[in-house]
């Protein structure tokens, strides 16, 4: 509120407006938000499942939200000519944000697909490398065993040499 007791961020028509706060000292503030997500039990089970993220994307069809330049579910929203300016602004922003979210989902999906395609080769190479290290370790253990056994054997004495 300003010094007059009126809200400074609300215009005469009730619209929100920007206010210059650059002269105010910096303060630490805490905001607490609360939200609720509701979904079908089957969807929740899918989200909590051990399926890969890629499989979850495909099952929920999140990778299909971005239609690129093709028509989407929002294309018919502005056919209603009775929408006022403020509603049009809000609706336009909502649609832009939803389309941006769809593009982000598509990008995530493509990265998961790429990682999945590359993971088979990476896993195979990892296993080969690990296999080679285990083989080297087994050889080293065998050599150590031979050294320990050789050192544990009593050295031949003069009497045992003379008897042979």
Give the distance between the most distant pair of CA atoms in the chain: 120
Q: State residue 10 phi and psi, 5-degree precision.
A: -120, 125
Separation CA 124–CA 118 (nearest Å): 10
* DSSP assigned state of 46: H
**Mean pLDDT lowest among 6-10, 60-64, 138-142, 158-162:** 158-162
Q: Which residues pair with 16 in a beta bridge?
A: 10
CA distance 87 to 95: 12
**Domain-wise residue ranges, the chain:** 50-151
Among the listed residues 60, 33, 27, 58, the one whose alpha carbon sits nearest the alpha carbon of residue 44? 60
Rounded-to-integer distance, Cα 64 and Cα 44, Å: 20
Stretch among 18-32, 38-52, 95-109, 150-164 having the lowest mean pLDDT: 150-164
Instruction: Yes or no: say if 108 and 60 are a contact pair by the CB < 8 Å rule.
Output: no
pTM score of the predicted model: 0.48
CB-based burial of residue 60 (10 Å sphere; 0-12 exposed, 13-18 middle, 19+ buried)? middle
- Token pair belonging to 3: 């010094």
Q: What is the pLDDT of residues 30-40, one digit of tens each?
A: 989 899 989 99
């Amino acid at each position: 509120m300003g010094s007059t007791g009126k809200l400074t961020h609300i215009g005469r028509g009730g619209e929100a407006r920007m206010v210059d706060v650059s002269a105010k000292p910096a303060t630490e503030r805490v905001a607490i938000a609360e939200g609720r997500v509701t979904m079908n039990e089957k969807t929740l089970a899918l989200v909590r499942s051990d399926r890969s993220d890629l499989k979850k994307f495909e099952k929920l069809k999140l990778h299909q939200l971005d239609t690129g330049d093709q028509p989407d579910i929002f294309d018919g929203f502005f056919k209603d000519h009775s929408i006022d300016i403020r509603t049009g602004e809000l609706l336009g922003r909502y649609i832009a944000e939803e389309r941006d979210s769809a593009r982000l989902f598509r990008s995530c999906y493509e990265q998961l697909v790429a990682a999945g395609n590359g993971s088979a080769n990476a896993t195979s190479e990892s296993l080969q490398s690990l296999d080679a290290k285990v083989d080297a370790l087994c050889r080293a253990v065998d050599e150590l065993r031979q050294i320990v056994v050789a050192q544990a054997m009593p050295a031949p004495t003069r009497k045992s040499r003379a008897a042979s």
